[in-house]
Structure 1
Amino acid sequence: AAGFTIPKTSSRAITSPAGTADTMECLAKVEMSEKKIRSVVKKTKACIVHGGSMHLAPADDKIIEVEHPLSIDAEGQLLASVMAKKFSVSANHVLIDIPMGPEVKAKTKKEAKHLKKMFELIGRKLGMDVRVILSDGTQPIGNGIGPLLEAEDVMSVLRNDPLAPQDLRDKSVVMAGILLEMAGKRNGRKVAIEILNSGKALQKMNEIIKAQGKQKQVLLGQQRYKVRASKRGTITSISNNIIAKVARIAGAPTDKGAGLFLTKRRLEKVRKGDVLYTIYAHSEFKLQLAKEFVRKNKGFTII
């Protein structure tokens, strides 16, 4: 929307309930030929596609095929997976976000700084301008967990919906601002906010969706269960791993409309019986499996 060309290639989920490609696929087609992608980028100056469909990094694609069912996501493969695809599309500027927290890839600031150093080193060797930011990974960003629910979060931010998740909006503006400055714009964050508030960002997203091919409407799972607080207190932590596992048990990312919607966040006060999150599934069987799992661990610590 700012006038720069940004071809975005992405992977499907390996250990998470939704990868960028899975989420975008709820809105538009992501599997397309190189010729089609070139056409989309020429028309809109952007794309959000599944990198595997282009075979940009064939060895990486084969490894991901093995990783997915085993939920493996090793550091070396993480570095190779991200950088190989960025290099293969001739990216000049790359912004990478590394969340820090007890249950994400970088558990400590030391580990995050190590990953940052590695990404920057590989970037220099490949001749790319790589910027890495370290962020809070102690709880999920946005309200939705799962392809459709995350897509709804994104579109609500772009629509400037007052109910859109503020944390997702804030992070998007910060990252967009940094990218704009990397590309030569001054006051990147301010420019990003203006583009978002004006509706230009939503307009550009709709252009990309139309150019890639709008998907048939994906329906939210009709089987639902509200997970409630078992006592009164303050939410001191939310387990990313448990939340992700619940969403996967419910069917995400294979079932696009499966997952969960967070109602409460870390440091919020709750009363006994308050809804913490709602689980969505397409099948009663998968919902029952998710219910059995959360009876043992809801993923929320309340003190």
Structure 2
Amino acid sequence: MEVLTNVSLDVPKMKRIVESVGACIAWGGALNLAPADDKFIRVEHPLNIDAEAQLLASIIAKKKSVSSTHVLIDIPVGRGSKVHTVAQAKRLKRKFQRLGKELGMKVKAVVTDGSQPIGNGIGPALEARDVLYVLRNDYRQPFDLRDKALMLAGLLLEMAGRARRGKGRQVAEQLLNSGKAYDKMVQIIRAQGGKEKSPDDIPIGKYRADVKARRKGTITHISNITISRTARRAGAPMDKGAGIYLYKHAGERVEKGDIIMSIYSNNAERLKYAVEFLNSQHGVFIDRKPSA
């Protein structure tokens, strides 16, 4: 979002924006919402600690600190995600919902497929392009991202009483197809100090490397972890234009030499480093057997 507008907002400005356009998108790090949690995170990251209890406390504490009444939590599950099994995800879901209830919040957690990246872009500028493609109903929109956005938006509409149970997705789709969702995003962008942009006007890295299929077959898996680490080595998220664009996803057939993804960076050495890293990992798995 910071590619499109200012997200470092103080509380008074957030209130003015919400009163003006009915919503805002803000970076929580600028608000010092849960200072104790921030200290825990600074210790945990270098040690690669990801305790379940701390995960629950971290997420719920931030929501409670801003007086949230309705909270929807996405729990991606699958190979390469933080949550590896459906059983683990369901347990986490129950804990989120119980903790939210104890704190007076209506919390709904949903278990979703996290076995591969959602959308085509990984990295600030490339992800922002994806979002605008979906909101503008552009033919280049990633339909997996559109589908997930409609599902989550529909659930939020139902939770807030703006749609009947089971009808939320339908209402969300009407808002998206009519252009009202895009118009609201533009209002938010402008209210926060940004300008309306075409997706193609968002600059991406000037250096590019294509990653091609080494053999023909069906892509069976794309590693979230490897893709994320490759994007970081290319410079994301500090370099807003750095990242990865996926042309192919799991389940799709490829021929030898087909472009599977492109890596972008504004630094030639970083791009070289990212390519070398990806080549040393098992990021994309291709099965020679034909897909069913």
Cα 1:120–1:33 change in 2 (3 A) is same
Q: Give, in angstroms, the shift of residue 67 of structure 1.
A: 4.5
Q: Give, in angstroms, the shift of residue 76 of structure 1.
A: 2.5
Q: Distance in 1 between matches of 2:81 and 2:121?
A: 18
Determine whether 1:277 maps to 2:261: yes
Match among 236, 247, 267 for residue 252 of structure 1: 236
Q: Distance in 2 between matches of 1:262 and 1:67?
A: 31
Find the counterpart in structure 2 of residue 7 from structure 1.
none
Find the counterpart in structure 1 of residue 184 from structure 2.
204
Q: Distance in 1 between matches of 2:66 and 2:213?
A: 47
Match among 131, 134, 149 for residue 157 of structure 1: 134
Find the counterpart in structure 2 of residue 289 from structure 1.
273
Find the counterpart in structure 1 of residue 74 from structure 2.
97
The gaps in structure 2 that reach 5 residues or longer are 288-292
- Give the AA of the match of 1:55: N
Cα 1:176–1:205 change in 2 (3 A) is same
- Cα RMSD of the aligned pairs, angstroms, is 1.6
1:109-157 Cα distance to aligned partner (Å, 9 max, x none) = 1110111011111101111111111111111100000111111111110
Q: Give, in angstroms, the shift of residue 55 of structure 1.
A: 1.2
Matches within 5 A, 1:256-267: 256-267=240-251
Equivalent residue of 1:48, what SS? Answer: coil
Check the 8 A contact 1:34/1:54 in 2, yes or no.
yes
Matches within 5 A, 1:166-245: 166-184=143-161, 185-186=163-164, 187-214=167-194, 219-245=203-229
Aligned identity (percent) is: 54
Q: Give, in angstroms, the shift of residue 219 of structure 1.
A: 2.4
Check the 8 A contact 1:227/1:298 in 2, yes or no.
no
Please, what TM-score do these two structures have when normalized by structure 1?
A: 0.88
Range with greater deviation from structure 2 (283-292 or 60-69): 60-69
Determine whether 1:83 maps to 2:65: no
Q: Distance in 2 between matches of 1:196 and 1:88?
A: 31
Equivalent residue of 1:273, what SS? Answer: coil
Equivalent residue of 1:248, what SS? Answer: helix
The gaps in structure 1 that reach 5 residues or longer are 1-23
Equivalent residue of 1:47, what SS? Answer: coil
Check the 8 A contact 2:244/2:264 in 1, yes or no.
yes
Range with greater deviation from structure 2 (24-33 or 55-64): 55-64
Check the 8 A contact 1:148/1:218 in 2, yes or no.
yes
Check the 8 A contact 1:83/1:123 in 2, yes or no.
yes
